[in-house]
Amino acid sequence: MSKSKSTKTTASGAAAMATTTSRVGELSQPVRRVIQNYVLVWFDANFDESDEDFKKSLQHLRKTVASIATFTNVQEGIVFLNAIKKEKIFMIVSGSLGQQIVPEIEAWPRLESIYVFCGNREVHEQWARKIQKVKGVHTSIEPICDALQVDRENCDRAMIPISFNGIDTLFMYTQLLKEIFLDIEDDDTKLIKELAEYCRLQNDIDEDEIAKVEQEYHDHTPIWWYTAPFFMNSVLNCGLRLMDVDIVLRLGFFIRDLHQYIDNLYQEQQSNKKITTTFTVFRGQGLSVEVFEKMKKTEDGLMSFNNFLLTSENRQVSLQLAREGAATNSNMVGILFIMTIDPTISSNSSIPYVDISREGFYEINDTEILFTTHTIFRIDHIQPIPDDHTDRLWQVNLTLVGNDNPELDKITSSLREEFSCSTGWSRLGHILIQLGEPTKAEQLYKILLEKTSSDEEISDYNQQLGRIQTIRHAGGDMKVRLNPDRSLYDELEQRNLLQRPRPPAGLGLNLIQDGQLGLAMFNRSPKFLAPGRYTFFSPFDHLINVTSITDKLITLGNIQIVTINQDELGLSLRNGESILLDPGRYILTAPHVFVKSTPANAQYIELGTYRRITVPVGFVAVAFDIGKQIIIRPEDTKSGPFETNSPTFLFDKKTGFQSVQLQVRELDQLTVNTRDGITITAKGLITYRIHDPTTAFMTVQDIHGAVKRAAEATLTSLFLNAAIDEIAPPVPEKQTDKDLINLKSTVEEENFNQHIRDAFLHDFSHKVHNWGVELQDLNIEKLEFDNSVKDLLRKRAQARVETATSLANMRSQTEIAMQQADREKQQAQIRAEAEAFVIRTKADADFYAAERHAQAAKLLQEVPLSAQLELKRLDVEMIKATGDRTTFIPMNLHIGDIGMVDKQNNKMYWASNNVTN
């Protein structure tokens, strides 16, 4: 395995890996660098640069993207990515490294698209499809190259340089830059050779393309080269966007040739079919949010496309390109430009445009219109476009502006006079100085010195180099904070920057009123004018503009007067270094350039490389530095905000602050088949909070999204494994039925919310706890199913009611029968006991009677028969007389228990009716 090694040397802002001082032609050669609007970064831990497949893949990629960097070490690659400030990033990553690195950097604004290059597509599509910027998972390099070709075209379209009047200083020099590019006459053959050698030095552009330009440039039209899928268009776009001196110098011939060809073809097309009525063309592209904010501030003002402008008559094609521009990157918006073109303005102002349908590299059916470079429009109206695909789609209506526009003429006329003493590339150097780019101007003049043999030009270039050194050293660090107790006029006068009116003060053609400040040039030097009247006699003295002294930003040449309010912080740049501006008023001189101000009490402040974060209670801040995640808690900022100047520090103000308070998240609507095949639709809410931010945000990508997705998966699984009766409560047909059902207490008749909630909390709590999340509750908001299922549940409910009623009746009858059986059993037992008692009593009585009979018989044997008869007769008579069966025996007779003996009266009483015979 090879060690981590970049196959390109540097990106904008990144340190060069090598410096080359060799000379090719007459131009000194700078270090290698990115010369297009994009760079391709390829991560793979198993790179083998000696492998033929790797070499072929790299060669194939170079035909699409010139600048390619390869890395085997993730941290080194992230440092490299952080250093890229001006280009878009395309990324190819292996499957294994992709899972590690992509979630950490997916939100980076400059990262445009990601492609996963792996051996197992199905495995890596699982995680890749969750990341918006991943545009594909591939097992071969060819489809990646095809997709990168589309990305490259969209990127070049989105990064066309644009400037706005009143905001961008560059806009003031738009027309002068155009004149510089078009007026310079150079030897094309010589410059083509220099361009080819320059591109070879970069070692990024495919040699076949370089050779084709070098050998066949004059075999094709400039429009053919501009529309061809080679490096010309992309490199030109990059050079004009960055005002890169090396690129602009080497492509100056192509700018001139392309404009001249457009102008000639325009004359030809107009003579064949002259268009006299206003028409509309369209252009769809992506645009960074930063540039779009400038555009909104300039509504009803002027803007310039600082390159050749390709448009279409097909609105739908342009709208689709606008959608693609905002498809994956949240830091981009899609723009549909609708441009109204008045042919009269174009003709009178020498703004040529041509139909290139039959002129370009590709054969196309739609009409495409190409405008010359640095065309200016007025921004008429900006409005959002309702769209199902994105909420970041906007329509911008523009109107072509001619050279006779008073606002434009006012700017360019005075500047043209200011630079009238210089011509060609030397004039470009003057403009770069005024733009606060002395380093670029110095580079330009040194190159021009090498090319010229004219004593006059050598003197001029050396003079300008001396001027650059004077500017650099004048005024210390060229940032002066003004005394708030003194007037702005006094402060400017003290620094020899103010011109007061000369007597007589009442005369003069130009009036500066009280509270105003004049912006003028005196002997080619910027001067501010105090209130009064002025007359300019010298051709090198003229008034540029008049502004209010209360304006927050006043710009005159390379001087800026900036006001930072008490509740703000400001940022200026000095040769790429970020300089913070505290509240107050400042005079900034190039290379100091004011960038912006921001509210000082904002929770997140980003000013250049300076970052300041104040974390509110209930939140944490999630940031990255050199690819490592950082968690900042409120307690970390109690003693003061978190501050850093690390150039690799990354914080997304939209998603960086993460709440650790109680979260209530709505789950997506679920449509699931239950275990018994019933289709249900359910929707719920989960309540949770982050109890361990470090675990939640450092181990789980998009914790809130992960919790939501996992909750939906768990709920789906519960529904899949449950029958409809276990999920939905019976649907009662009547209130009485419902009351009966509610009396039941079996598990299958519980309310579905509670049933599912208990199962969900049991299954889900442990899972999210490992993520640093504490689950609180689940609420099922909606449970719907087909009407036929409702009828089925209603019938089941009715059947349950009837079954319950029948069971109750049966239970009651059974209880009555059991009670009756118990009573009968008791009665039978009582009867049996009574019968047994009677039997025992009768037996006892019979035994007793028998015993007495035996005694009586014995007694009768002892009593004379006459006595017996007499007793019997008396007994009968007594019965007849009284009905009383009591027998009186008048004798001394002792018969034990059945009789009584009266010895005194010689009588015996016999109770025969009490004796059982």
d(CA 793, CA 74): 59
pLDDT at 475: 45
Task: Please tell me the total number of residues recorded for the chain in this structure.
Answer: 917
Ordered alpha helix ranges (H), 63-141: 74-82, 95-105, 121-128
**In this structure, what are the phi and psi dihedrals at residue 327, rounded to the nearest 5 degrees?**
-65, -50
pLDDT at 42: 93
Q: Is the dihedral of CA 622, 624, 630, 635 positive or negative?
A: negative
Domain shared by 111 and 37, yes or no = yes
Domain shared by 410 and 454, yes or no = no
pLDDT at 21: 27
Closest listed residue to residue 397, CA positions, set 341, 447, 453: 341
Question: Domain for residue 838, yes or no?
Answer: no
Quote the radius of gyration of the chain (alpha carbons, Å): 53
Domain shared by 154 and 250, yes or no = no
Instruction: Give one word for 538, left, alpha or beta, with left for phi > 0 and alpha for psi -120 to 50.
Output: beta
Domain shared by 283 and 383, yes or no = yes
CB 612 within 8 A of CB 580: no
Cα 237 → chain centroid: 29
pLDDT at 794: 66
Closest listed residue to residue 41, CA positions, set 114, 105, 103, 108: 114
Q: In this structure, what CATH number is given to the domain that contains residue 731?
A: 3.30.479.30
Question: Domain for residue 802, yes or no?
Answer: no
Which two three-digit tokens encode residue 566? 């008490």
**Cβ neighbours, 10 Å, residue 702:** 16
Across-strand partners of 562?
553, 586
**Cβ neighbours, 10 Å, residue 855:** 14
Question: Domain for residue 394, yes or no?
Answer: yes
Q: Angle 339-340-346 (CA atoms, 0-180°, nearest 5)?
A: 105
Q: Measure the N-to-C terminal CA separation of the chain; round to a whole number of Å.
A: 133
Q: Is the dihedral of CA 880, 882, 884, 889 positive or negative?
A: negative
**Cβ neighbours, 10 Å, residue 190:** 12
Last residue of a domain, one of 659, 683, 704: 659
Question: Domain for residue 888, yes or no?
Answer: yes
Domain shared by 468 and 388, yes or no = no
DSSP calls for 341-358: E-HHHHHHTT--EEE-TT
**Cβ neighbours, 10 Å, residue 374:** 26
Predicted model pTM: 0.56
pLDDT at 3: 40
Domain shared by 263 and 212, yes or no = yes
**Cβ neighbours, 10 Å, residue 255:** 25
Q: Is the dihedral of CA 809, 812, 815, 817 positive or negative?
A: negative
Domain shared by 240 and 349, yes or no = yes
Closest listed residue to residue 29, CA positions, set 428, 453, 446, 438: 446
Domain shared by 373 and 346, yes or no = yes
Maximal C-alpha separation, the chain: 202
Domain shared by 176 and 314, yes or no = yes
Closest listed residue to residue 292, CA positions, set 201, 147, 396, 363: 396
3-state secondary structure at position 709: helix
d(CA 7, CA 68): 6
Question: Domain for residue 317, yes or no?
Answer: yes
CB 889 within 8 A of CB 875: no
Residue type, 790: K
Which two three-digit tokens encode residue 828? 């039978």
Domain shared by 778 and 697, yes or no = yes
The tokens 């103000």 sit on which residue?
653
- Domains identified in the chain, total number: 7
Domain shared by 392 and 507, yes or no = no
Closest listed residue to residue 730, CA positions, set 674, 795, 680: 795
Query: How does strand 111-117 pair with strand 134-138?
Result: parallel
Give me the domain span that covers residue 891: 865-914
Q: In this structure, what CATH number is given to the domain that contains residue 343?
A: 3.90.176.10
**In this structure, what are the phi and psi dihedrals at residue 14, rounded to the nearest 5 degrees?**
-90, 150
CB 43 within 8 A of CB 92: yes
- Those residues with Cβ within 8 angstroms of residue 892's Cβ, 6 or more apart along the chain or in another chain: 901, 903, 906, 908
Helices 74-82 and 95-105: crossing angle in degrees, nearest 10, is 40
Kindly list the averaged pLDDT for each block of 10 residues, start to end, along the chain of length 917: 37 32 32 73 86 86 85 85 85 90 83 92 89 92 92 90 77 78 78 89 81 93 93 90 85 92 94 87 93 88 93 94 85 94 92 92 86 94 87 94 77 69 80 78 88 85 83 59 85 86 65 90 81 78 87 87 92 77 88 85 85 90 79 86 82 84 90 85 90 84 87 89 73 45 39 70 86 89 72 68 76 82 83 81 78 72 66 71 59 46 47 42
d(CA 917, CA 568): 136
Question: Domain for residue 558, yes or no?
Answer: yes
Domain shared by 176 and 307, yes or no = yes
CB 402 within 8 A of CB 348: yes
Question: Domain for residue 805, yes or no?
Answer: no
Question: Domain for residue 309, yes or no?
Answer: yes
d(CA 461, CA 422): 11
CB 136 within 8 A of CB 90: no
Element (H, E) at 567: none
